[in-house]
Chain A
Amino acid sequence: MTSTRSATIFAFALLAPALIYISIIVAYPLFDTVVLSFTNAQLRPTYDWVGWANYQRIFGAGNFTEIIIRTLVWTFFSVSIKMIIGMCGAVLLNAAIPGQTVFRILTMPPWIVPMAIGIYMWAWMYNGNFGMISGLLQNFGITNGPVAWLAYGHTAFWATIVTDVWIGVPMVTIYFLAAMQSIPKDLHEAAWTDGAGRFYRFRRITLPLMLPAIITMSLLSLIATFNSFDIIYILTNGGPSGQTTTMIIDTYKTAMGSRKYGEGAARAVVICIFVSIFCLVYFRAVRRLGQGEAK
């Protein structure tokens, strides 16, 4: 009994620093945000309790639903493309090709370059007058004149996805490569001995054995991409005319741009609910994968 109690106390003592830290920087702000979302807090030093008014306003009028759908579409395409390119990259990097190490190193820069610098580089590449992309297209005669990629809604939407994919692909590739290399070589040799070609082996051995890695990476990438702020903020600031405004940009603009802290908090709470659902799915998937492995 005493030893159990002292063990419990010891465990809490070890956990205490982390718990205090999390309480201060995560739990308290989260709680405060929820409280704030039920007030009309603005720049004034005082504010009043307004109940569900903020939620009624954001869901009742305006374009919040549109922003949610846009965010989901943006996230879906960005994550899907990252997964597909990451898988292709991992397959190529895993193949016994000359100069393999060089190629492996070459995948890293998007990840290594400070994100803001990378994004500014893309901003310049997208520029209509001086940008490399527009210039190349004109040189090859594909477009007649300059194309300012970030000036039109549909091109800006895809341009931000392309940049997000560029930044995100190295991590996915390396993660998939590691998962691929953890598959014992014997399995491929056994299948090759039995006459299975490359594609057949990929479909029946590599992919199924990588499923845990694919699910984990997809869900982690989903959460990170859903919350992606800096790429859109630097490239378009949510423009033109809100065509690249995702939930996180919208929340920032409401709270920090319009100084409507209460309403911004309500929008943040909605993001939090979405991310919580993704996390729940992630944890359930991890648990199920764990049970599958134990079988």
Chain B
Amino acid sequence: MSQLSLKHLEKSFNDARIIKGIDLEVSEGEFVVFVGPSGCGKSTLLRMIAGLEDVSEGEIAISGKVVNDLPPVQRGIAMVFQSYALYPHMSVYENIAFPLRVEKLPQPEVDKRVGAAAKVLQLESRLQHRPGQLSGGQRQRVAIGRAIVRQPKIFLFDEPLSNLDAALRSEMRIELMELHKRLGSTMIYVTHDQVEAMTMADKIVVLDAGTIAQVGSPLDLYHRPDNIFVAGFIGSPKMNFINGRVRAANGSTVVVDLGQLGIIELPRTSTSVAGQDVTLGIRPEHLKLGAGQFTLTITPNIVEQLGIHSITYATLPGGEAFTGLFEGNPDLVDGKPIELSFPIASAHLFDSKGLAVY
């Protein structure tokens, strides 16, 4: 049985539909990441699960029980806010103990639970400090501590790392993953950062304008995106898209005319794309220097040498932006044409509606 189940979930603010019919099942112990661009409804969806936003239509069930009309505290969830939402006038101890004080637990029990959370989060020496005296990472840990002491069925994280600097963010990312392993609880995590999503998730839910664009494991989403939105969102640098037109589709191959770049023949069984305008997708990291199965020549406008790899930015004859990612530091210069190629198998094809053609 799934621990969290969303059925036809909808949310409207006046006339604006923010969440447009979401169905999702989350199993116990899963680390699920909601990812999507700003305004896609991911935080609203999380707040609906938390009970901070009313449900307009549909149903939220936790452990088989419909919780639509239950206040947050009765849902068995705990939430970590983007701003941490620590109480500035209380000590770290009292911040972590807050939910237990609300429950009116006896002092020895409060001591025990706060102590245990502080130990897990390495906050023992900070318990008497005020939040204002802590670093960003420590504040984040206090916010997590406040969630842990409630021993919730589901942890909800709303962009918890977005206020931290890059170094601290990757450190906290690892800490959160370790915490998930240790606690084994279900965690739902909202982020707009696809790197966080790829590295942390058991299951990624990509949201686009209030609907689910795709649900799957990180590598599923990377290798077999269902649509052009997911293909463009997952992966960094993002996938290159080249406009083309299908010349022929015979049930085993699809022949796509890419204009000045030439003609490419892809192994696809679909015949419905015949004559359609389509989009060819190729990830920057799948490009190789030199000739290969499909070869093209580009002139980079900018070359970024990052030591571990190099990135080139160019514009194709059709006007599309085209990025290349190459291992090491090959001899690449701005304005000097280079010959590139990619294996046919690594190319993605999307029909005129943006859906993947397999």
Contacts and interface: CB of A to CB of B under 8 A. Distances in A.
A209 B89 contact: yes
B73 A194 contact: yes
B88 A193 contact: no
Contacts of B89: 208-209, 211
A195 B99 contact: yes
A195 B133 contact: no
A186 interface: yes
Contact of A193 (B77, B83, B103, B132): B77
8 contacts: A184-B85, A186-B82, A189-B52, A192-B52, A194-B72, A195-B73, A204-B98, A295-B133
Interface string B218-229: 000000000000
B51 A195 contact: no
A224 interface: no
B180 interface: no
A92 B6 CA distance: 36
- Which of A187, A195, A295: most chain B Cβ within 10 A? A195
Given A186-B81, A189-B52, A295-B133, A196 B102 contact: yes
B85 A190 contact: yes
Interface in B43-92: 50-52, 71-73, 77-79, 81-83, 85, 87-89
Interface string A27-66: 0000000000000000000000000000000000000000
A191 B86 CA distance: 10
A202 interface: no
B130 interface: yes
A195 B85 contact: no
A204 B89 CA distance: 9
A186 B52 contact: no
A19 interface: no
Contacts of A295: 130, 132-133
Interface residues of B, number: 26
B41 to A, nearest CB: 18
A223 B348 CA distance: 76
Given A193-B50, A195-B73, A295-B133, A205 B102 contact: no
B283 interface: no
A14 to B, nearest CB: 34
A200 interface: yes
Given A295-B130, A295-B132, A194 B150 contact: yes
A192 B83 contact: no
Given A184-B83, A186-B81, A194 B132 contact: no
B102 A200 contact: yes
B141 interface: no
B91 to A, nearest CB: 11
Contacts of B133: 295
Interface in A175-197: 184, 186-187, 189-196
B103 A195 contact: yes
A285 to B, nearest CB: 16
B337 to A, nearest CB: 53
Interface residues of A, number: 18
Interface string B122-161: 0000000010110000000000001000100000000000
Contacts of B50: 193
Interface string B95-119: 0001101110000000000000000
A205 B85 CA distance: 11
Given A194-B102, A195-B73, A195-B102, A186 B83 contact: yes
Contacts of A184: 83, 85
A204 to B, nearest CB: 8
B87 A192 contact: no
Given A186-B81, A295-B132, A193 B73 contact: yes
Nearest to B88: A209
Given A190-B146, A192-B72, A195-B99, 6 more contacts: A184-B85, A186-B81, A187-B85, A189-B52, A189-B85, A190-B79
Contacts of A193: 50-52, 72-73, 77-79
Contacts of B81: 186, 189-190
Nearest to A187: B85
User: Taking each of B78, B79, B146, which has the highest tally of chain A beta carbons within 10 Å of its own beta carbon?
Assistant: B79
A197 to B, nearest CB: 8
B52 A191 contact: no
A186 B43 CA distance: 13
A58 to B, nearest CB: 46
A187 B87 contact: yes
B78 to A, nearest CB: 7
Q: Which of A184, A186, A190 has the most CB of B within 10 A?
A: A190
A56 to B, nearest CB: 50
Interface string B167-191: 0000000000000000000000000
B162 to A, nearest CB: 14
Contacts of A211: 89
A196 B88 CA distance: 17
Contacts of A200: 102
A282 to B, nearest CB: 21
Interface string B4-28: 0000000000000000000000000
A192 to B, nearest CB: 6
